[in-house]
């Protein structure tokens, strides 16, 4: 079994004091920093880009797990690599040359991830599975924090886990993850847990450690 990683999403952080919010989750036990980049085109929301990510890179050595909700994405990969990304995840739906995009990420020396929207079947990545280091199963429709976990995602995680088999690939879940459903999600095969609102709600740094610990304990 692969190590469990908790990856709080800074999408729900207080952007007015973003550096402190990142530091607070690291102090609270976060394994990865999940960075949600939205373009207002692939998803119906705009968040922030590489310049903002670069500004918080100095705050921690923890891996930056960068979730690009951008289409087309290829022209931005080098900038995110240069700005401190460790894992770069693109959507299977975001372009017609997924294989090329994944190769480009690895050519930049970064780990390549592929994300699946709720309606996209696991079979969409069957022929690129040896070209990825991480599979991200979206358990909400991407674009916003604070949505409810789609129950069908558990069956999809099991399918993704079966496709991964014995390969050295992380299985990540993103959307509506809480301490209440983390056990079922882990049973379905996921080992990287993105958590936005369930860690950052209220934006009180004093609560982050307990919330991260509660997800891990589940």
Minimum Å distance from CB 145 to Zn ion? 9
Query: Is 28 annotated as a binding-site member?
Result: no
Q: Residue 174, interface with ligand DX5 (CB under 6 A)?
A: yes
Minimum Å distance from CB 140 to ligand DX5? 6
Positions 158 through 197 that interact with Zn ion (CB under 5 A): 174
Is 168 annotated as catalytic?
Answer: no
Minimum Å distance from CB 186 to Zn ion? 18
From the list 23-31, 139-147, 163-171, 205-213, the region that binds ligand DX5 by CB under 6 A is: 139-147
Positions 20 through 49 that interact with ligand DX5 (CB under 6 A): 34, 36
Minimum Å distance from CB 80 to Zn ion? 14
# residues contacting ligand DX5 (CB under 6 A)? 21
State which H helix or E strand residue 134 sits in. Answer: strand 134-138
Number of helices and strands in the chain (H, E): 8, 8
Phi and psi at residue 43, to the nearest 5°: -130, 155
Query: Is 64 annotated as a binding-site member?
Result: no
What is the rounded CA–CA span in Å between residue 116 and residue 139? 9
Q: What is the dihedral of CA 65, 208, 139, 163, to 10 degrees?
A: 50
In this structure, the strands spanning 192-195 and 170-174 are: parallel
Q: How far is residue 134 from each of residues 90, 143, 215, measured CA to CA in Å?
A: 10, 20, 20
What is the rounded CA–CA span in Å between residue 99 and residue 215? 34
Is 36 annotated as catalytic?
Answer: yes
CA-based angle 69:74:75, to the nearest 5?
105
Among 5, 67, 91, 161, binds Zn ion (CB under 5 A): 67
DSSP secondary structure code for residue 173 in this structure: E
Selection from Zn ion, ligand DX5, none that 11 binds (CB < 5 to 8 A by kind) is: ligand DX5
Which residue ranges make up the site for ligand DX5 (CB under 6 A)? Answer: 9, 11-12, 34, 36, 67, 140, 142-143, 145-147, 174-177, 194-198
Annotated binding site, which residues?
A: 9, 34, 36, 67, 143-146, 174-176, 196-197
**Residues annotated as catalytic (active site), given as ranges:** 36, 174
């Amino acid at each position: 079994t692969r190590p469990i990683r908790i990856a709080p999403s800074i999408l729900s952080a207080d952007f007015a004091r973003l550096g402190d919010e990142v530091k607070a989750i690291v102090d609270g036990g976060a394994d990865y920093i999940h960075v949600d980049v939205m373009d207002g085109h692939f998803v119906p929301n705009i968040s922030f880009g590489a310049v903002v990510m670069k500004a918080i890179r100095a705050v921690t050595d923890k891996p930056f797990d960068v979730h690009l909700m951008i289409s087309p994405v290829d022209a931005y990969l080098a900038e995110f690599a240069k700005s401190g990304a460790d894992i770069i995840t693109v959507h299977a739906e975001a372009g017609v040359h997924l294989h090329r995009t994944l190769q480009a990420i690895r050519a930049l020396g970064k780990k390549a991830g592929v994300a699946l929207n709720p309606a996209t079947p696991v079979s969409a990545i069957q022929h690129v599975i040896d070209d990825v280091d991480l599979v991200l199963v979206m358990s909400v429709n991407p674009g916003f924090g604070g949505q409810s976990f789609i129950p069908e995602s558990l069956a999809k995680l099991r399918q993704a886990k079966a496709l991964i088999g014995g390969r050295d690939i992380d299985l990540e879940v993103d959307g509506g993850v809480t301490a209440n459903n983390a056990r079922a999600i882990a049973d379905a095969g996921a080992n990287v847990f993105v958590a936005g609102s369930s860690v950052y709600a209220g934006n009180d740094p004093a609560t982050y450690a307990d919330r991260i610990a509660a997800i891990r304990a589940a």
